[in-house]
Amino acid sequence: MAALRAGLVGLGMMGRHHARVLRSLDGVELVAVADPGGDPHQAATGVPLHAGVQGIIDAGVDYCVVAVPTAFHEETALVLAEAGVHVLVEKPLAPDVASGLRIVEAFESRGLVGAVGHIERFNPALQSLRRRLEAGELGDVYQVVTRRQGPFPARISDVGVVKDLATHDIDLTAWVTRSRFTSVAARTLHKSGRAHEDLVAVVGQLENGAVTSHLVNWLSPLKERVTVVTGERGAFVADTLTADLTFHANGVIPTQWDDLATFRGVAEGDMVRYAIPKPEPLRTEHEAFRDAVLGLGADVVTLRQGLTTVAVAEACLESALTGRPSALGADGPLLAGPVPGPAVAPALAV
């Protein structure tokens, strides 16, 4: 079977990592790259370099990774859809819902495979967490708390922290719990002198009744990527920087010291740190998309799921602007269909 011919648009901070993985991915050949700014990181040396997306199309690619700034996702993706090219678009799918919907419709109407690069879904800690939640190890889920903070990344200029970073937490929360957001209430801060927000605090609620809390900022010297899921049997803690997953069980031995029992509340039980395989999330993401293009069962982040995440992000910004909670309709077109599940793409003859 011939290798899939892949292209890459955008050779910036994220694009260089896509280039590295594409050049070493089994069953795939990186045949063309494009960036009007050239290849500053020398990530695609030896691969034909073009100034724009048309050079990628002319190279006869089967699929393309779009790693350009968010503001250019729509125009790039629509050109590729018109040319019949399958696409993996870096997150977020689009700068707004209207733009994202046009991308979704362009690919769905042509029967093309489209996916969004929400890489946290492929983090080993979160994948293990999701499997354990599905197996009922936690029982009922009560709360999901995420913290994603660190210094300001100079590479980001076209969106704020909500659409750049908080979209990770929106997507992973709905994915690990298999439940969509029904409402959010948010507050933002602008402290770095940019046009966009650089801190957001969000409280949300999911269809399954669980409450969520998300703290995201570019203002902290402490880099943190933590997800805590609390339920009737204890709490899972996933650290996606180290890909570690731990479980803190509710205790089964009662505390006999009355004052201490009153202070601590739920009894503390055993803590388990799981030994799990730790493949690189970006490679796992690319393997899943390759398999989707080939028509194999692959659990990718579909364009419509990516669109739902953009809708929740916009609801957060609306809430911060108005000072009121924002509701998300469960039966609207953007939120139709299940959040999880494998995406089985049409086969590509190679």
Q: CATH number for the domain including 105?
A: 3.40.50.720
Asked if residue 295 and residue 272 are part of one domain, the reply reads no
Residues 59-116: pLDDT tens digits? 999 999 999 999 999 999 999 999 999 999 999 999 999 999 999 999 999 999 999 9
What pLDDT is attached to residue 2?
76
Q: What is the pLDDT of residues 277-307, one digit of tens each?
A: 999 999 999 999 999 999 997 789 999 999 9
Residue 308 belongs to some domain of the structure? no
What is the pLDDT, as a whole number, of residue 259? 59
Report field, pTM of the whole predicted structure over 0.85? yes
Asked if residue 316 belongs to a domain, the reply is no
Asked if residue 130 and residue 98 are part of one domain, the reply reads no
What does the block give as tokens for 287?
Answer: 């393997």
Kindly report, residue by residue over 110-150, the tens digit of the pLDDT. 999 999 999 999 999 999 999 999 999 999 999 999 999 99
Count CB neighbours of 149 within 10 A.
19
pLDDT over 70 percentage in the chain: 88
DSSP 24-93: T-TTEEEEEEE-TT--TT-TTTTS-EESSHHHHHHTT-SEEEE-S-GGGHHHHHHHHHHTT-EEEEESSS
Is the predicted pLDDT of residue 336 greater than 50, yes or no?
no
Judge if 73 and 148 occupy the same domain: no
Name the residue with higher pLDDT: 259 or 341.
Answer: 259
User: Is 307 a member of any domain?
Assistant: no
Task: Write down the pLDDT at residue 329.
Answer: 73
Both 247 and 336 in one domain: the answer is: no
Looking at residue 334, its pLDDT comes to 40
Q: In whole angstroms, what is the distance from residue 340 CA to residue 299 CA?
A: 8
Kindly state the DSSP code that residue 155 receives in the 8-state scheme. T
> How high is the mean pLDDT of the chain?
90
Sign of CA dihedral 197, 239, 12, 114: negative
Looking at the 3D structure of the chain, how many domains does it have?
Answer: 2
- The pLDDT of residue 270 is 85
Pick 70 or 342 by higher pLDDT. 70
Beta-carbon contacts of 134 under 8 Å, excluding residues fewer than 6 positions away, are 178
- Is the domain of 261 the same as that of 136? yes
- SS3 for 196-251 is CCCEEEEEEEECCCCEEEEEEECCCCCCEEEEEEEECCEEEEEECCCCEEEEEEEC
Alpha carbons 190 and 298: distance in angstroms, whole number: 39
Q: Is residue 43 in some structural domain?
A: yes
The phi and psi torsions of 53 (rounded to 5 degrees) equal -65, -25
**Cβ neighbourhood burial of 325 (10 Å; 0-12, 13-18, 19+):** middle
Q: How is residue 334 written in tokens?
A: 């953007």
Is residue 260 very low, low, confident or very high in pLDDT (cuts 50, 70, 90)? Answer: low
Q: Is the pLDDT of residue 254 over 80?
A: no
Look at residue 343 in the predicted model and tell me its pLDDT: 36
- The pLDDT of residue 212 is 98
Model confidence at 219, pLDDT cuts 50, 70, 90, reads: very high
Q: Answer for the pair 34, 49: CB distance below 8 angstroms, yes or no.
A: yes
- The partner residues of 271 in beta bridges, in order of sequence, read 248
Residue 350 resides in a domain: no
The answer on 212 and 290 residing in a single domain is no
Give a yes or no: residue 246 inside a domain. Answer: yes
Q: Is there a single domain that holds both residue 334 and residue 202?
A: no
DSSP state of 120: G
CATH number of 216's domain: 3.30.360.10
121 DSSP assignment: G
Q: Are 234 and 268 in contact (CB under 8 A)?
A: no
DSSP bridge pairs for 250? 268
Same domain, 54 and 79: yes
For residue range 180-205, what is the model confidence (pLDDT) as tens digits? 999 999 999 999 888 899 999 999 99
Note whether 171 and 269 are same-domain residues: yes
176 shares its domain with 293: no
Phi, psi of 312, deg, nearest 5: -70, -40
- Do 244 and 152 share a domain, yes or no? yes
Structure-model confidence comparison of residues 152 and 157, the more confident one: 152
Count other C-beta atoms under 10 Å from residue 194's C-beta. 14
Does residue 75 belong to any structural domain of this protein? yes
Half-sphere exposure of 253 (CA within 13 A, CB side): 5
Q: Domain residues for 92?
A: 4-119+282-302+329-344
149 and 244, same domain (yes or no) = yes
Is 222 part of any domain? yes
